[in-house]
Amino acid sequence: MDYIHLNDLEFYGYHGALPEETKLGQIFRVTITLACDLKKAGQTDDLAETVNYAEVFELCKEIVEGKPCLLIEAVAEKIAGRILKDYEAKVTGCRIQLVKPNPPIAGHYASVAVDIIRGVL
């Protein structure tokens, strides 16, 4: 299996269970791994034979910067669902890691995150 990685995409969204999160918003970072066959793209050098990662970036941006969700799990699920639907002919599975670097939690930590896998990686 071959993979396309989109690493540490950064967006500003309003997701969260606490009122200040949906009012003030915050940065979210997303890393996406797409399982797909890249052999033909590599042999032909043809964009039509692969997944256009610029399109995947825009799809992710639309979701993260769009309608707020209470849970980052729901945001990650929306991203995975759209990728698998929109690219069903080319993508057999995806892994979505969604990181919330600065949630309003008292204490010291680097970040909180969810990591989901859908389909076959």
Write the pLDDT tens digit of every residue in 76-95: 999 999 999 999 999 999 99
Residue pair 23/2 in contact by the 8 Å Cβ criterion: no
CATH number listed for the domain at residues 2-119: 3.30.1130.10
pLDDT bin (cut points 50, 70, 90) of residue 16 is very high
Residue pair 33/5 in contact by the 8 Å Cβ criterion: yes
Task: Work out the angle at residue 75's Cα, subtended by the Cα atoms of residues 52 and 27, and round it to the nearest 5 degrees.
Answer: 85
Write the pLDDT tens digit of every residue in 104-113: 889 999 999 9
Amino acid, res. 36: C
pTM: 0.97
Whether 78 is catalytic is no
Predicted confidence at residue 71, as pLDDT, reads 98
Instruction: From 21, 114, 121, select the one nearest 76 (Cα to Cα).
Output: 114
Among the listed residues 23, 67, 78, 100, the single catalytic one is 100
Write the pLDDT tens digit of every residue in 32-56: 999 999 999 999 999 999 999 999 9
Predicted confidence at residue 36, as pLDDT, reads 98
